[in-house]
Structure 1
Amino acid sequence: MKTSIQERFSYIVLVQFAVVMALAVSAIASLMSVNQKFEDVDQKWLATTGMLGELADRISEFRLAETYRALANTAETRAAAEKLASDQSAAIGAILRDYVKLNSATGSRDVADIQAAWSVYLSKHREWVASDETGAIDEPALYKSALHQLGVRTRAVQNRTLRANGMRTYAASLSLAGSLSDRKPSGI
């Protein structure tokens, strides 16, 4: 059974079309994988790095508010310093909640460590404020005081978490770079 030239030509075109479609599907799947890795780096790792930087700023602002409270000469300035500390505390709580949402699987130890350090620090701060209605007790705000050391510890935990997050971000970007360099042009 001989096939005509037209049938052979149709068969060759059909095979070429199938090969091109298979290459296109493969390329789309590869691009979707790379896109997912880009989104992971952008949506998670870079966002958590920003959150940790913001957390460091807020902890410093909280500590500064404690210093303002110790230096306050009047009830009004003391109240303003306490409000600043309260605002910073609320912002820290919001950042920690957002961080938990983004890192429920990968950063659970980090989150627990930061939350524990912050909880102890905040608790001691509240004890100080509750026991010092007149603003006469300045010792907790002093350099090297117990409260200062808790602030330093909280920042140290935050910095350790920031470094760990940076390592995960770097690993994710290396994985992404490896994915991109493994892709060979298909020569279509």
Structure 2
Amino acid sequence: MPELNDTVLSEAGDRGRTLLVTDLVGLIERHERSDRPGVESERVVTYAEALEADGARIDAPSVPSAVEERRTNSSSWVGDDVLYTVDDGRVSTFPERWHEGLRGESDVRRYLEVILDDVDDSENAFSMGGAGRGVPRSLLFDATAALGELNPTEAKAQIEALRDEGVLAEDVDQHPNARVSFA
């Protein structure tokens, strides 16, 4: 099994008791590169055990049941506090449909197209972000990092350039996690 990623361990350790299993899966997805979608459940447990051994306030033995409690077989978005089953039993913070449509993608517009096409009503589909329609900026950054090759700085630069061109819109004055949409 590959070595554990120091960034994942550091960020997860900093969250202490507020770390949810979905947060840990998301960190692993964003910071470990794999040729397969999602993360093996055993990998999540390995991180939890390492965190616990390092003194983090985490209950590693409860992680397998926490993964199973949050697991859904839905191939479309049902919420941000679930783990989606992808690629023969692996888990992800993003549904299979997003993995299929966005794997390796580097254009922010394509992320918006796939995500907005998957959710019926973007105004109510996400429990985070500012008011209105669109995809919360933080979710977009997480998706571009986990599913593609864009880090948040690159995704932000694309969003700003496309906003300046009149292609995208976001109301940055009202909320720090503004929703991004097509203009």
Normalising by the smaller structure, the TM-score range is under 0.3
Larger radius of gyration: 1
Q: Which structure shows the higher strand fraction?
A: 2
Q: Which structure shows the higher helix fraction?
A: 1
**Please, what TM-score do these two structures have when normalized by structure 1?**
0.23
**Please, what TM-score do these two structures have when normalized by structure 2?**
0.23
Q: Which has the higher contact order (CA 8 A, sep 6+)?
A: 1
